[in-house]
């Protein structure tokens, strides 16, 4: 039983020792977390590889340079030692200390490999109590008490160091949380500004393309141009955009002719627009864009009698323009060309191009058509 205990003690005693291989002038560094005001001792031994014996042997001419830096990267120890020895330093700051070792070998050992045995002890483990007992003439009891005092002191330093690490960790966590918060605020601000810029840019683009009305101070911007004395024809004027267009033109005192398929509905819509705008120059005229005769009659009525027009300032086509299927009217003319027919009839009739007009309609690859406009 005693033999087993001694074996365990012997293993524990050398459990912190290690060895490593380095090449010529190669530096090897170790990081040790050490409390403040703690003595650290390192025992080392350098051996040179012998290719003849294929083993490592002692070579006294090899030196070992030891360099120690504290957590603030200040040099605590920098000294050249022999091939075997001991280095000692005392920490003044708690934290990670960097211990670096490298040989001073030159081209004499070019390409040679070195084996370095290293044993680092800190605190009470770095004390040589046998030497202390001899120097201070302490008996065994006094020596044990001295060891206990050193151990208590080392435990206190370790506790202080752990408290210091906890404080640093808390500061780091608080700093990280604060940075994350400000980063989120910054991201949100950038997204808001980017969205505002995009909305402003798109708004300006659509206004330039006249797809939307301009806005001022968040309210709808209404154009103030007066249209008195001007005449406009609006198709599909009984609902939707066509109705809104008629109402807007009437507000500006323009003469508006509503070209509608359903006359009864057109009369009702016209009555509402006249009451709301107080403009009586709003007229209803029946015009079915799918019927060529209806289109011709509509145009002819605008050229004679009390409704004879001397000018047309604009034609607004709001009626449906295209269908998914090809449709023709009773004279086999493609219905999709109804707007083109109306514009051409109005143009030539108002220019007194009588009595016969020949039109070649090629929009969407339609066939030729002969249109008679005799009165």
Per-residue confidence (pLDDT) for residue 184, from 0 to 100: 92
How far is the C-alpha of 118 from the C-alpha of 120, rounded, in Å?
Answer: 7
Is pLDDT above 90 for 192? yes
pLDDT (tens digit, 9 = 90+) per residue, 94-116?
888 899 998 876 545 556 788 88
Match 């806005």 to its residue by tokens: 215
Close Cβ partners of 97 (under 8 Å, ≥ 6 residues apart): 31, 32, 33, 34, 40, 68, 69, 70, 71, 76, 91
Question: What order of strands is seen across the sheet that includes strand 27-34?
Answer: 27-34, 95-103, 64-69, 75-81
Structure tokens given for 28: 């090897």
DSSP letter at 302? T
Determine how many CB atoms are found less than 10 A away from the CB of residue 236. 23
Pairing assessment for the beta strands 314-316 and 55-58 based on DSSP bridges: unpaired
Residue 2 has pLDDT above 80, yes or no: no
Kindly report, residue by residue over 230-271, the tens digit of the pLDDT. Answer: 888 888 888 888 888 888 889 888 889 898 888 888 999 999
Residue 216, beta-bridge partner list? 219
Query: How large is the average pLDDT for residues 216-230?
Result: 65
Looking up tokens 């005769």 gives: 293
Vertex 160: Cα angle to 158 and 161 (nearest 5) = 60
Q: Helix 338-350 vs helix 292-301: angle between axes, to the nearest 10 degrees?
A: 30
CB-based contact 43:137 (threshold 8 Å): no
Of all helices (H) and strands (E), which one includes residue 255?
strand 255-260
The reported pTM is 0.40
Per the prediction, the chain carries an average pLDDT of 75
Q: Are 33 and 158 in contact (CB under 8 A)?
A: no
Q: Mind listing the pLDDT tens digit for each residue in 320-336? A: 555 545 555 555 555 55
If phi over 0 gives left and psi between -120 and 50 gives alpha, with beta otherwise, what is residue 118? beta
pLDDT of 1 over the 50 cut: no
Contact 348, 373 (CB under 8 A): yes
Q: Helices 129-136 and 140-208: crossing angle, nearest 10°? A: 130
In order of their start, the domains of the chain are: 15-126 (2.60.120.380), 226-372 (3.40.50.720)
Distance in Å from the first CA to the final CA of the chain: 135
Compare 335 and 124 and report the one with higher pLDDT: 124
| Max CA separation in the chain (angstroms) | 143
d(CA 248, CA 264): 22
Rounded CA separation 341/359 (Å): 9
Q: Quote the Cα angle for 80-82-85, to 5°.
A: 105
pLDDT at 157: 80
| Residue 29 CA: distances (Å) to CA of 41, 86, 102 | 16, 17, 9
């Amino acid at each position: 039983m005693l033999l087993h205990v001694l074996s365990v003690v012997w293993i524990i005693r050398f459990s912190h020792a290690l060895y490593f291989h380095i090449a010529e002038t190669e530096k090897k560094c170790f990081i040790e977390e050490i409390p403040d005001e703690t003595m650290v001792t390192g025992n080392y031994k350098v051996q040179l590889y012998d290719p003849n014996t294929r083993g490592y042997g002692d070579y006294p001419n090899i030196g070992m340079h030891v360099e120690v830096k504290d957590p603030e990267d200040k040099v605590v120890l920098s000294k050249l030692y022999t091939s075997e020895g001991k280095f000692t330093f005392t920490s003044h700051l708690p934290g990670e200390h960097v211990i670096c070792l490298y040989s001073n070998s030159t081209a004499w050992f070019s390409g040679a490999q070195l084996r370095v045995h290293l044993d680092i002890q800190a605190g009470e483990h770095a004390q040589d109590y046998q030497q202390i007992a001899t120097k201070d003439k302490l008996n065994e009891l006094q020596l044990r008490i001295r060891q206990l005092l050193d151990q208590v002191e080392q435990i206190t330093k370790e506790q202080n160091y752990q408290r210091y690490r906890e404080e640093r960790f808390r500061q780091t966590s608080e700093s990280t949380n604060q940075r994350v918060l400000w980063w989120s605020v910054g991201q949100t601000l950038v997204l808001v500004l980017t969205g505002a810029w995009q909305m402003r840019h798109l708004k300006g683009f659509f206004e330039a393309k006249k797809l939307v009305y301009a806005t001022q101070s968040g309210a709808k911007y209404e154009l103030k141009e007066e249209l008195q004395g001007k005449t406009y024809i609006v198709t599909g004027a009984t609902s939707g955009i066509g109705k809104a267009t008629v109402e807007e033109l009437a507000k500006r005192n323009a003469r508006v002719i509503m070209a509608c398929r359903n006359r009864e509905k057109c009369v009702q819509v016209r009555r509402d627009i006249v009451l709301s705008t107080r403009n009586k120059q709003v007229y209803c005229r029946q015009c079915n864009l799918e019927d060529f005769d209806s289109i011709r009659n509509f145009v002819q009525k605008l050229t004679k009698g009390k409704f004879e027009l001397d000018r047309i300032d604009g034609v607004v086509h709001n009626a449906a323009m295209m269908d998914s299927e090809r449709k023709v009217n009773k004279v086999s003319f493609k219905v999709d060309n109804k707007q083109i027919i109306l514009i051409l009839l109005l143009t030539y009739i108002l220019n007194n191009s009588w009595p016969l007009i020949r039109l070649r309609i090629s929009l969407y690859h339609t066939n030729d058509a002969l249109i008679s406009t005799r009165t």
